[in-house]
Structure 1
Amino acid sequence: MDKDTTKIFGLRAIMEAIDSGQEIEKIYLQKEIQGSLAKALQHKINEHNISFSYVPVEKLHKLSKFQNHQGAVAKTSSITFKDLDEVLSALSDVKASPLFLLLDQISDVRNLGAILRTAECTGVDAVILPSHGSAPINADAIKTSAGAAFSLSICKVNHVLDAIYQLKAHDIQIVSVTEKSDKSIFDIDFTGPTALVMGSEHKGISTSVLKNSDHKAKLPLFGSIESLNVSVACGAALYEIVRQRG
């Protein structure tokens, strides 16, 4: 999906883009690249779980159209992230019961894409992601979302807790979907302003987020498997909200 991406050339430029929170789709590194800057970039790639591959220098020449790439080229997503404060202010004037979706470090791009697709279909007003630790909204995520990634308001925050504090200041209830609860999601009143929280595939919702949630609720399971795929669970929870809101 080259039409949905731009490119960044050079080791230092790519590192600065990562530090600034720029959404990186993929990084291409020259085979057997050496040096302190290359090592620093590789460390950031691992730290932020960014997709990368080692390629021949000829591939980098083609990607950069022979600009000075220094052995590294990054493709960045064209998704434009919105400021949460601005979204909250705009919604307060037009909607009595807005619906937010907070994703606490969803790491699989296809899960993220599927969630974005369902969020768009169920009328979610904004999706909130942490700046670090979340799957990138790359070509795979955009494809899986069926283009919903371009239709939704998507916000990035330093930490999900930052978003929770902002949402609570606007009297929006925080509901975390977790198996660490005795309450069913069908017992929660979703008719008022709500932010639904979904956790990562492996760790679930972080302890600090659970502690700051107004409600914790689970989806009832009747089979032998103990959990649902996060995108499926998110879809079930969002459609319960749709059902309640009529």
Structure 2
Amino acid sequence: MTAKILFGFHAVTVRLKSAPKTVIEIHVDASRRDQRMRQFVERAREAGAKLIDSDDDRLQKMAGSHRHQGVVARVEAVSLSHSLDDTLDAVEAEGKGPALLLLLDGITDPHNLGACLRVADGAGAHAVIAPKDHAVGINATVAKVASGAADTVPYFMVTNLARTIGELKERDITVIGTSEDAEQSLYDVDLSGPIALVLGAEGSGMRALTKKHCDQLVHLPMRGAVDSLNVSVASGVCLYEALRQRRD
């Protein structure tokens, strides 16, 4: 199995907790001996991980970033659901509640995707979906920003997002898109049933074809001077409103 790179305390710690046997080795900054590093090393040893002292140059090369925090791990890929159909079948069969999906149209910034995965995990979303031609894939930066959520939330890159939306509708999943031009507010619609929330890139929004295939469009009320939110923030607002409605 091909190894992948995780870096940063949160991402590596979550992997140690969720799938310690997939951690091949962890490189740590030999010059860093503060309390946070000591606690991390102790946790890694308790999990049986192989620890290797490295310098900053090596850590930067492995991570492809200077934001590694002194921790870089080589890990095996975690096997999540192989397909969206498998995921939705499991949600239904295991009684995990109404489907809650996040569709991202045109999100190419790995920091935004990582943050979206993190909030999707927090809100209990069953999957995140994006088009192959207009999205960033899972890489080390995404995994670091996601703080472990890249290993827990299935992320599917589909060939045709409009066709996938049609397939979701066939499963009686309501597809709700966000648009600043929509008449209805997010808080005026029922999010308690099976839904897929669609968000586009900040500024450009969803593509016209994607918007056309949504069942409903909603806007997020904006009361200040700015006219839009970062996509990860908007995702959090939408997903947690769905979560709130499902808890009531």
TM-score bucket of the superposed structures, by smaller chain: 0.5 to 0.7
Give SS of 1:195's match: strand
1:229 corresponding residue in structure 2? 230
Q: Which whole-Å CA distance do the structure 2 matches of 1:107 and 1:79 have between them?
A: 23
Give SS of 1:191's match: coil
**Structure 1, residues 169-226: CA drift from partner, whole Å, max 9, x if none?**
1000000011120110000100100001011224211111111111100100011111
Gaps of 5+ in 2: 6-60, 63-75
Is the 1:120–1:151 Cα contact (8 Å) retained in structure 2?
yes
Q: Which whole-Å CA distance do the structure 2 matches of 1:79 and 1:174 have between them?
A: 29
Q: Which whole-Å CA distance do the structure 2 matches of 1:180 and 1:226 have between them?
A: 11
Q: Which whole-Å CA distance do the structure 2 matches of 1:200 and 1:159 have between them?
A: 17
Shift of 1:80: 5.5
User: After superposition, where does 1:196-207 map in structure 2 within 5 Å?
Assistant: 196-207=197-208
> Which amino acid counterpart does residue 102 of structure 1 have in structure 2?
L
Moved over 3 A (4+): 77-81
Give SS of 1:221's match: coil
Gaps of 5+ in 1: 6-61, 64-76
Per the normalisation by structure 1, the TM-score is: 0.67
Aligned pair in 2 of structure 1 residues 79, 207: CA closer, same or farther (>3 Å)?
farther
1:112 corresponding residue in structure 2? 113
Q: Please tell me whether residue 210 in structure 1 is matched to residue 211 in structure 2.
A: yes
1:87 corresponding residue in structure 2? 87
**Alignment length, in residue pairs?**
180
Q: Cα RMSD over matched residues?
A: 2.7
> Which amino acid counterpart does residue 87 of structure 1 have in structure 2?
T
Q: Which whole-Å CA distance do the structure 2 matches of 1:138 and 1:93 have between them?
A: 31
**Structure 1, residues 67-124: CA drift from partner, whole Å, max 9, x if none?**
xxxxxxxxxx947673112222222222341101111121111011000000000000
Per the normalisation by structure 2, the TM-score is: 0.67
1:143 corresponding residue in structure 2? 144
> Which amino acid counterpart does residue 91 of structure 1 have in structure 2?
V
2:129 corresponding residue in structure 1? 128
Q: Which whole-Å CA distance do the structure 1 matches of 2:116 and 2:91 have between them?
A: 22
Q: Which whole-Å CA distance do the structure 2 matches of 1:151 and 1:213 have between them?
A: 27
Shift of 1:149: 0.4
